[in-house]
Structure 1
């Protein structure tokens, strides 16, 4: 996300670097427009779907909807300012430089908070698949709410020094570390002096919010997939004889009431297995999307020669992270039938309401015009009858 190319010399002239950045702007503008539209509409539909359908208010979906809130705010409250910087090639509120620092803080907080929720979703699935018997005990309503609050505030609290911190070696806006980076047209770090500790702080934040989550999710999903495979094999072994089972005490087959209860339990276990498989698939795909969108940024900014890399690589890595706010609703549409149905129902209701309002107003206008036409016709008929009577009199 943040790009550290500001305090060291680069192997091209400033003019050439600026020209490279300008030539790359259309790419970033296109991504911003897409992410703003799809991210705002898609995540809003996700939030409304969760609120409208009681059956979707599960513990797992509580994490999904909180992630949707973060992504929605990214699309409507953060990315438009990034887009403005790309379009104007300057910060639109230059007279208030602190706003650029707020935008940089918001930029980091949105991205890193999304990552925190992805880790929480992974842990939720890990407990649900590997330790299903403890899931209800660990994820009670109160504990889940507490975890969600922690996930929302964890990244902003750790990033707070970047907002309020200053350094004597920084000449920008009273020694501010962040601001509008005129070389990349976004609000990010503009000053990280060597031997000041701030560079180490930023590298620490990258490790905590990008490298560590990547490793944690890879390890946990390896356990999840292994455990899920064992569970499938166990269920297949237990219920593989068409709902019949042999007891170790003899060769008798469960029949009558026992067989009915056995089949009922079999169906419940299979439904639970399918539900776990669906939720795990969604979380795995979300994790893969995170890797695709954030891995380029992590690689570019952790390289030892990151300050010497062409500015377009930094811009491209940053731009790709913007996609993260728009991919999750697409994942829900393809992988979750209930979300897909609710999306479509809300869309039809919204368009139906607009259409109904339009038809109602049109009908009202037509009905109001009809009496006027009838009145005019009546007046013409009265005039005709009067004329006929006048002729008869004559």
Structure 2
């Protein structure tokens, strides 16, 4: 990471030194992964948003975070990912300094918005299942809208420091303008703790208590609460739990690499390049997975997907 360069504003980024010479199959694989991610991200998350607003069964307070999460995933497919794809095809950044900074900011906005929305979903599910009588008061439609707004306010606030520490730079190894962990060890550790480890801990706490509660109810330890856990509620919880697990799996390698390098800069030269590249593209790939999970595990989403697609086909014929 220490090899990353700060590109001057007047530099044609495609002419930057230090671009890696790679075998054609490597760039082909990276480009293919990104193309698949962009297409599925755009189509899948658009279906999620439309489904939530169209279907009354999906238009419940908790799904406001689901739609918000889909918006966070859409952001990267609309702007940063296409620029990265072009950089892969040109073996260098050709879009200029401003687009580099905007791309990095929107990538940060997307990932922080995603983890904050996943945290909101977990807290919502925890309150619904474990504290049912209080749920409607805590998560009314009006208050949930305020919570979603708060999520995005905190997300925007979280990316502002990047403008002052000059942490958004082009890395030729991943063809991306992204956060550079080597700029400041303290800042990197703070970012990983606040934007990844802390939210993951909160979500883990919520889902752990939900699992304990569900197990107790199924064993009739608390039969008075059994009506709160119907098959639909459990399937909805399981869907959101899978979304969280996939996010953690996809983003953990990149965050732990950054944390390790921040704590011990010597690790930067010990991490294989393929592992560093794989950690980034695993993280990129996560943005297209949520819509697939909803379609596979949630009957209401799956049925709404089919209906929307059929209507689009009928309109085009």
Deviations 1:327-365 (A, max 9, x none): 11111111111111110011011111111xxxxxxxxxx
* Structure 1 counterpart SS, 2:161: helix
Structure 2 regions of 5+ residues with no counterpart? 6-16
TM-score between the two structures when normalised by the length of structure 1: 0.70
Q: Is the 8 A contact 1:46 1:339 kept in 2?
A: yes
Q: Is the 8 A contact 1:4 1:189 kept in 2?
A: no
Shift of 1:102: 1.5
Shift of 1:311: 2.4
Q: 1:235 to 1:50 in 2, by over 3 A?
A: farther
Shift of 1:224: 0.7
Give yes or no for the alignment of 1:332 onto 2:281.
no
2:164 is aligned to 165
2:135 is aligned to 135
RMSD: 2.5
Alignment equivalent of 2:268, drawn from 289, 307, 324: 307
Count of paired positions: 301
Shift of 1:146: 1.1
Give yes or no for the alignment of 1:145 onto 2:152.
no
Give yes or no for the alignment of 1:280 onto 2:278.
no
Deviations 1:80-132 (A, max 9, x none): 112122221222223xx122111111112111211111111111111111111
Structure 1 regions of 5+ residues with no counterpart? 8-14, 167-175, 240-265, 356-394
Deviations 1:56-87 (A, max 9, x none): 10012111111111112222222111212222
* Structure 1 counterpart SS, 2:276: helix
Q: Is the 8 A contact 2:101 2:169 kept in 1?
A: yes
Shift of 1:5: 5.0
1:298 is aligned to 255
Deviations 1:2-53 (A, max 9, x none): x66537xxxxxxx998235977433321221111000100111111111211
1:187 is aligned to 177
Whole-Å Cα distance in 2 between the matches of residues 354 and 99 of structure 1?
35
Shift of 1:313: 1.6
My pick for the range that moved more, 216-225 or 272-281, is 272-281
Whole-Å Cα distance in 2 between the matches of residues 116 and 67 of structure 1?
9
1:44 is aligned to 46
* Structure 2 counterpart SS, 1:234: coil
Whole-Å Cα distance in 2 between the matches of residues 71 and 189 of structure 1?
18
Q: Is the 8 A contact 2:65 2:117 kept in 1?
A: yes
* Structure 1 counterpart SS, 2:230: helix
Q: Computing the radius of gyration over CA atoms, which structure comes out larger, 1 or 2?
A: 1
Give yes or no for the alignment of 1:25 onto 2:27.
yes
